[in-house]
C-alpha cells in the first residue's frame, strides 16, 4: 500500500476549515463524536460485530478476509461513491477511524485509487479525543467571564451577539430550563465535552472568553469540572430585566409559541405540562396546581382566539415562584467580581466594548 498523507491530531484541530470523515461504526460515532464531522462508516454495527467475532474465534487474517468479503462488489462501490462525494463537497477533508488503523488506511487507499487524496489522522479519533480531554483538564485557557441574570433576561442572545464567547447551551442543545428538554436530542456527554474543548482550542490566543452562567448540568449534560470551577470564580456582568419583559421573551423564544393549528396547540400543551409537572415537588402541590390550571386556561384561550397573551400570567408566576428564588440563592454564592449591572442593552454595549 502506497504511503499516503497523514496529519497529527493537533494539526487536524488547528485547521479551522477542516471537515472530518468519521469511519467508525454508527454506535461508536453516537457515543462520542467531533463537531464538523460526518459519519460514513467503513463497517456498520452488524458488520463490525461479525468481523469482531471472526477475529476472536479465527484470528486477525480471517477477520481481514471477512471484511474484504463484506466490502465487495456493489456494497464497496456504493461506499466509495459516498466517500468520494463527501470529499468533493467540503473545502478541507480529513478522515479518521478509531485509532488510525486499517479502517482509515483502507478508505484512504480506496479514495486515492479514485484520484482523491484525503489526509488521515495519526492515532485516529482516540488521539484527537486525548488532546481535547487534556485541554479540558489543563490550565492554559483564556480567562472566563460570565454573563449572569435571571431566567428570561436574554443571556443566550447576548452570548450569540458577542464575538469572543462560547454558547454552552447551544453546544448542549438544551435551553437549561424546565422547558429546555423540548429542544432536539442532546449530544452524548463525550460529544458535548469535545465541542466545548474545540471552542476553547480555537480561542487559546484570546485574553478572555464570555460564557453564560450555568449550573453543573445543562439538561442531562455535565459541564467539565474545571470549566465549572472557573465559571464559579469568574468576574461577571448581570442583566436586569423586569418580570414582564422576561415573560414575553420566554413566550417568544423559549417556549416557541407562534400561530399554530389546533392540533399543534394541543401537542404544545401536552409538552409544556409534561415538562412543568417535573418540578411539582419543588413548587409544592398548591402552587403547582394553581400554575397548572393557569397553563390549561391559557391554552384554552389560545385554542379559541389564537392569541398567546394569556400565557404571560403563568410564565410570570413561574419566574417569581420558582426561578427567581433559585437565582437569588445562587447569586449569593458567586465568588467573582461584579463588573457591570444593567439592562439587556446596557450589558450588551458593555460586553461588546470589552470584547
For the annotated catalytic residues, the residue numbers are: 97
CB 303 within 8 A of CB 265: yes
Q: Which three cell numbers stand for residue 253?
A: 423564544
Dihedral angle over CA of 350, 351, 352, 355, nearest 10: 130
* 146: β partners: 211, 236
- What sign for the dihedral angle of Cα 109, 111, 114, 115? negative
> Closest Cα to residue 155, out of 41, 253, 59?
253
Residues 6+ apart with CB under 8 A from 308: 251, 257, 298, 302
CB 275 within 8 A of CB 295: no
- For cell 384561550, the residue is 301
What burial class does residue 290 get, using C-beta atoms within 10 Å of its C-beta: 0-12 exposed, 13-18 middle, 19+ buried? middle
E-only strand ranges, the chain: 6-7, 18-22, 37-39, 92-96, 120-121, 143-148, 165-166, 208-212, 217-218, 221-222, 236-239, 338-342
Backbone angles phi and psi of 166, in degrees to 5: -125, 120
CB 251 within 8 A of CB 311: yes
Report the first-to-last Cα separation within the chain, whole angstroms: 51
* 120: β partners: 6, 95
> Closest Cα to residue 23, out of 94, 96, 101, 130?
96
Amino acid at each position: 500500500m502506497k504511503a499516503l498523507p497523514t496529519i497529527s491530531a493537533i494539526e487536524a484541530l488547528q485547521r479551522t476549515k477542516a471537515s472530518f470523515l468519521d469511519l467508525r461504526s454508527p454506535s461508536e460515532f453516537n457515543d462520542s463524536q467531533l463537531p464538523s464531522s460526518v459519519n460514513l462508516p467503513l463497517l456498520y454495527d452488524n458488520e463490525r460485530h461479525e468481523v469482531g467475532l471472526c477475529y476472536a474465534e479465527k484470528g486477525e487474517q480471517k477477520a481481514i478476509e471477512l471484511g474484504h468479503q463484506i466490502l465487495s462488489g456493489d456494497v464497496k462501490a456504493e461506499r466509495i461513491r459516498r466517500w468520494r462525494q463527501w470529499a468533493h463537497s467540503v473545502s478541507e477533508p480529513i478522515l479518521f477511524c478509531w485509532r488510525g488503523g486499517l479502517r482509515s488506511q483502507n478508505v484512504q487507499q480506496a479514495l486515492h485509487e479514485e484520484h482523491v487524496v484525503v489526509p488521515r489522522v495519526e492515532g485516529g479519533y482516540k488521539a484527537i479525543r486525548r488532546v481535547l480531554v487534556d485541554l479540558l483538564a489543563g490550565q492554559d485557557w483564556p480567562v472566563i467571564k460570565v454573563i449572569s441574570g435571571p431566567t428570561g433576561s436574554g443571556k443566550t442572545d447576548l452570548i450569540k451577539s458577542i464575538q469572543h464567547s462560547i454558547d454552552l447551551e447551544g453546544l448542549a442543545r438544551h435551553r437549561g430550563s424546565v422547558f429546555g428538554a423540548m429542544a432536539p436530542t442532546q449530544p452524548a456527554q463525550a460529544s458535548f465535552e469535545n465541542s466545548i474543548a474545540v471552542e476553547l482550542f480555537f480561542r487559546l490566543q484570546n485574553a478572555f472568553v464570555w460564557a453564560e452562567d450555568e449550573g453543573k448540568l445543562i439538561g442531562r449534560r455535565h459541564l467539565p469540572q474545571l470549566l465549572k470551577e472557573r465559571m464559579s470564580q469568574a468576574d461577571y456582568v448581570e442583566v436586569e430585566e423586569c418580570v414582564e419583559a422576561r415573560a414575553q421573551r420566554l413566550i417568544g423564544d423559549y417556549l416557541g409559541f407562534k400561530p399554530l393549528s389546533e392540533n399543534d396547540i394541543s401537542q404544545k400543551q401536552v409538552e409544556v405540562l409534561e415538562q412543568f409537572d417535573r418540578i411539582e415537588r419543588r413548587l409544592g402541590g398548591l402552587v403547582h396546581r394553581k400554575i397548572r390550571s393557569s397553563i390549561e386556561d391559557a391554552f384554552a384561550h389560545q385554542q379559541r382566539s389564537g392569541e398567546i397573551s394569556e400565557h404571560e400570567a403563568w410564565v410570570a408566576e413561574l419566574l417569581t415562584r420558582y426561578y427567581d428564588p433559585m437565582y437569588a440563592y445562587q447569586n449569593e454564592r458567586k465568588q467573582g467580581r461584579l463588573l457591570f449591572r444593567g439592562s439587556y442593552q446596557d450589558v450588551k454595549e458593555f460586553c461588546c466594548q470589552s470584547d
